[in-house]
Every structure is written in structure tokens, then in C-alpha cells.
Amino acid sequence: MMVWTLTSAAAGATSGLLPWFLPADNIALQLSSATVVSILMIAFVVSRSNRWLIYATVGAYALSLSLALALHADMPLAVPVCLLFTAILLRLGLALNASMREAIGEQLNARRLHSELKRAHAKQLLVQQREVALNERQRMMSDLRDAFGAQLLLSLKLMESGELDVRGAAATMRECVDDLKLMVDAQEPAARNLQTLLGMLRHRVQPRSLNKGPQLHWEISDLNSAGPLSPAQALDLLRAMQRAITSALRYPAAQHVLVSTRRVGRDFEIAIENDGQGFDASVTLGRTDDIAAMHRRVARLGGELFIDAREGGGSMIRIRLRWPLGGPT
């Protein structure tokens, strides 16, 4: 550092001696040379150099220029002017340098913070994605356990005890396959739309009414303003409607089952009604596992489930939903 300081001072002193090489009696030329030296001093001061190098170089500029003007050009009054100019230049230049360094430091710090923020955001996004994937995996495993495990275990016990024949076992297997297909359907991008979702459900359950038994009818309308559904919401709605339709198709003495939709104020209502025998709603609600399962799924969607025994026979299950849904996303 000492070598650089001495070298810079020598260079400044040499540059400041420029008036010595010009005619002493040419005042204009002498002042012009002083101006050139002053410009060099300004350029060096505003450079982002070390403070001690600036002091040494500019001080040597000023001293050699003052000596040249006083002794060679016979302009003693230029000395205090030169020294005052140098003092002001050093004061303002070093302040400017400090501000520039501070601004550069803040800019570099801002870039560093921005990079760290981007990395933190990327890590947070990765954690959220993993958490979503884990929650989805846990939800699907829970659905598999609840839907397939319990149903297969019950069927196995009934078969072992002789209470379930081959036809009943085949029906149970068919319901398990339908449940699996519904889980796959709920993951499809098209299932985000309510009207498309109901169309997919119709495709799955309609073949059941082609054999002997109640005829299944559909009246789907007024769904254009329904918002999108998440895979979890789509599966809950599919499962609830599947249970409702299956129960309606099995209802004693039922000839027709109607699935319809309508607007009720701000809500959407999906109704499944049949023309079978009547029932005591209070007793049915308290003892039917399918009804309890439908209530749980509709409640997760933030909706309401209504079961009405129709006068003169038959029943109606109504699922009322309000958008945006309040279920899992």
C-alpha cells in the first residue's frame, strides 16, 4: 500500500508540473494548463479509489501546480485559490465516494437478499408441493381403506358365515370396481367442472338401470355458474351421489329414479328421488351407515344433506352446495 501511495503521489506531482513546460508570459496558456490539471484532479477524486491514494495524488497535484504557478508563471495569488479548490474538491469528492460505495453496497446487499428470498421461496414451494402430495396420498389411502377395506372385510365375514352367496359377492366386487373408477375420475382435469363431473357419474351408474329394476333418469341444468372443484371435492361429491343413487335404485318397489339439479338462491341443489315405498326418516337417519357417510362427505364440502319421505310413497335425497365450496382443496 505504501508503494502504491508513493507512486500515485509521484504521478500526481509530475502531472501538476505541466505549467513548467509552457511559456511563463502566456497567462492564458498557463490558466489552461491549470484547468487541465484541475480536471485530472476531479477525475481521480471521483474514482472509487482508496482514500489514502486520493489524498496523496490530489495533494501532490495541488502542491506541484501551486509551485509551478507561483515560481514559473509568477502568479502567487493562484496558490491559495488552488489550495482552496483542492480542499473543497477533496471534501465533496470523498463524500460522493462514500455515497457511491454505500449505494453499491446496498445494491449488492439487495441482490443478495433477493437471491436468498428466491431460494427460500423455491424451498417453501417444494415443501408445499411435497405436503400437498403427502396429504393427497393420505387422503387416497384413507378412501381406499374406508371404501374398499371395510366393504371387502364385511363381505368376507358374510361369505365365511354363509350369509352372502356368489351373486352377492359379485355385486360387492362390482361396487368396489365402481368406487375405484370414481377415484380415477375425480383426478381427471375434466372433473373440475360440475356438469362434466355429473356426466362422468352418469356414465358409470347408468348401466345399472339397463337391467331389470328401476329406470334412472337425468335432468341436469343451471350449472353454468358453478365454480371449479378440486380432486378431493370432486371425489367427495361423486361418492355422496353414488351412495344416494345406489340406495335409490335398491329402494323397495321403486320403478323410477330421477337425478336433477336446480338453483336455490345462491345455492345449487342436486336431488335424487324415487317412487318406492315411504319410510320413517328419523329412524332411517339414525341407523343407516350410507346416510351417515353421505352426511360426512357433504359436510366436508360445506353443504347440507336433506332426506325427505315423500307423501304417498318414495323418498328424496337433496345435496345443497354453495360456491365457493368449503371442503378440502
Neighbours of 325 (CB within 10 A): 22
Q: Is residue 168 part of a domain?
A: no
Q: Is residue 47 part of a domain?
A: yes
- In the numeric block, the cell 382443496 is attached to 329
Q: Is residue 309 part of a domain?
A: yes
Show the cell assigned to 178.
365402481
Single out the residue in 115, 140, 174 at which a domain terminates: 115
Q: Domain range spanning residue 306?
A: 193-322
- Please determine, for residue 20, whether its predicted confidence score (pLDDT) is greater than 80: no
Q: Is residue 297 part of a domain?
A: yes
Write the burial class of residue 39 (CB in 10 Å: 0-12 exposed, 13-18 middle, 19+ buried). Answer: exposed
Q: Is residue 227 part of a domain?
A: yes
Q: What is the CATH number of the domain that holds 265?
A: 3.30.565.10
Single out the residue in 74, 91, 115 at which a domain terminates: 115
Quick one: DSSP state of residue 106?
H
Q: Is residue 167 part of a domain?
A: no
Task: For residues 314 and 218, state if they share a domain.
Answer: yes
Report whether 276 contacts 252 (CB < 8 A): yes
Q: How far apart are CA 206 and CA 219, in angstroms?
A: 13
Show the cell assigned to 42.
476531479
Neighbours of 236 (CB within 10 A): 26
Single out the residue in 115, 143, 173 at which a domain terminates: 115
The structural domain count of the chain equals 2
pTM of the predicted structure, to 2 decimals: 0.54
Q: What is the pLDDT of residue 319?
A: 92
> What is the CA angle 115-116-118, rounded to 5?
65
Q: Is residue 134 part of a domain?
A: no
State the Cα torsion 281-284-285-289 to the nearest 10°.
-160
Per-residue pLDDT tens digits for 225-261: 677 888 888 888 888 888 888 878 777 777 888 999 8
- In the numeric block, the cell 341444468 is attached to 221
Per-residue pLDDT tens digits for 25-55: 777 776 677 777 676 676 666 666 667 777 7
Q: Is residue 63 part of a domain?
A: yes
